[in-house]
Chain A
């Protein structure tokens, strides 16, 4: 815990590394379990963080997942270096996906990731610069 009672932990995510994909989300889930966060919040954080982590794995070169917890909320921010998203409204629509045939064969590319993040978080903001990267900031009230 930092002086202002905020717990902060950061994880790195490697693009296209499907062998370690999901590990950061699993670690965050374990932390939330240890500190006794409610089952419902843990469930929602797990879904949203996994989807954001997978999007970095699938579309970006590399990224970080930062988890901040204070007494009132959990904030998870995923920032990547990658192609960015040209039309965020379109990307947020259920079913929209630019996943490759290989990814679809693995069961990715339903176009449900960003909608899952929105549905399961208490607040989420997606910002992006084409050619630079994408940032997904989500929060969960405690």
Chain B
């Protein structure tokens, strides 16, 4: 069995809105091993995005413990968290979040700027990342010259470019039609199989979740079911 890469113990998150406290996560525990492809499902407002943001080190838990690759994330300083985001994690957002004025290539090389990589090396890697997602012939296109599915592929290339251990995708197919959504899931599945990337995907759709090997069902801020899929969709 592969080693544990994400270990979450009794994780809680309470949002404060003025005097009102919103308990978005109320004690969630699970482990994910290196190379797993996990889907997170649950009704709207159940805390899926909250969980993803905590795993992605974009936000801090109110209580509980989160270890990424053996490191206690709560202990890290701002700069160390940035380093973790740059090196261990890759994000894919529902709304792609590409920089509108820049080409696909420059969007993909952007994370490497913050690692001090020289421009030629950055472009070389970004080019490879774009080819991996099948966008090798659209490198100079700006986001508004690309379809939604193509934009999401560029976003995946951006998540890949720093060779992270984990890719986190919060409803990556939410803005796409089902055909394009499946196309995106195929790419993620390939990355999982061929490059051994650990992948977490939040989704509402069973078709999409079916690509994973395991589904975490969340409801009202709690993990209600941890489902291993016997035969997930095989490429």
A-B complex is real: no
